[in-house]
Amino acid sequence: MPQPLRYAVFGHPIGHTKSPRIHQLFGDQFGIALTYEAIDAAPEAFADAVRRFFAEGGRGANVTLPHKGAAFALADERSEAAVRAGSANVLTRLADGRLAAHNTDGAGLVRDLAERHHVDLRGRDMLLLGAGGAARGVAWSLLDAGVASLTIVNRTPATADALADAIGEPARVRTRYWQDLAGIGSFDLVVNATSAGVLQQSLGLPPALVGARAVCCDLAYGAAAAPFLAWAQAAGASRAFDGLGMLVETAADAFELWHARRPATEPVYQALRPPA
């Protein structure tokens, strides 16, 4: 009997991840035998941990906070989406042993919002909280989906400015200081791409950011997204979502890269979604 194909997700922390179950459920759809493990690697140990995983037979890996930039730098080849974002959430071992990087974050988020939740992204004024690897992974795709304007706010202003410069659309994209959040107006799409929820830190967001028809979304999911979703609902958002649907969609993109088969995502999303 052939050995199961080996996959993993790297992050720090990583105990909360649902990726192993998602990929097992995807594999079950096609009768593919695979193993998928969660590997906690501190930033200074990430590169060695990834190299060891692939040297020991790993076929592919997902990458989450805080390693997406490091995954991009580690790769030998990079997809257009990864190059545009400057970060990667998927690493794949090529036939010659080199590593290829891809970024499925933006496509996964747009598909979750537009197709699963039926959110029309066109013409929305968007606030993006954070400017790290997660934010870079989704910014371009949201603009491509028709977002009218994008305001980027990050606790380190230089990082927000660097993302805005990389996007290169000054008519649509601007940056603001975190301390000025109370006075920058309201938005009808607010996306939290910070790691605050995962790290159990408070964002201290003013309710005035939420416009009358605002949709709010946290790229984290489960308990990590709960404080942001509670804030959004209290501030009057029309709808608020966590990142579980995005996670399932991005995982499906990775699965298709690795297995050349597209899994059905809705049954997996429903299996993971806690009862209301």
Strand partners, 239: 215
Q: Where are the domains positioned within the chain?
A: 5-103+247-272, 106-242
Residue type, 62: N
Separation of first and last alpha carbons in the chain: 42
Going by C-alpha positions, the residue among 257, 276, 218, 275 that lies closest to residue 23 is: 257
- If we measure between CA atoms, which residue out of 48, 18, 44, 88 comes closest to residue 248? 18
- The SS3 call for residue 90 is strand
Q: Among this protein's residues, is 68 annotated catalytic?
A: yes
Q: Do 139 and 128 contact (CB within 8 A), yes or no?
A: yes
Q: Which residues in the chain show pLDDT less than 50?
A: none
Identify the active-site residue in 18, 68, 84, 124. 68
Question: In CATH, which superfamily holds the domain spanning 106-242?
Answer: NAD(P)-binding Rossmann-like Domain (3.40.50.720)
Backbone angles phi, psi at 235, to 5 degrees: -80, -5
CATH superfamily of 5-103+247-272: Leucine Dehydrogenase, chain A, domain 1 (3.40.50.10860)
Contact assessment for residue 100 and residue 79, using Cβ atoms and an 8 Å cutoff? yes
Distance from C-alpha of 60 to C-alpha of 21, rounded to nearest angstrom:
16
Looking at residue 276, its pLDDT comes to 63
Q: Going by C-beta distance under 8 Å and a sequence separation of 6 or more, which residues neighbour residue 61?
A: 7, 8, 9, 10, 50, 53, 54, 90, 91
The whole-angstrom separation of Cα 27 and Cα 255 is 9
3-state secondary structure of 256: helix
pLDDT at 92: 98
Same fold, 5-103+247-272 and 106-242: yes
Element holding 36 (H helix, E strand): strand 34-40
User: What pLDDT is stored for residue 65 in this prediction?
Assistant: 87
CB 141 within 8 A of CB 114: no
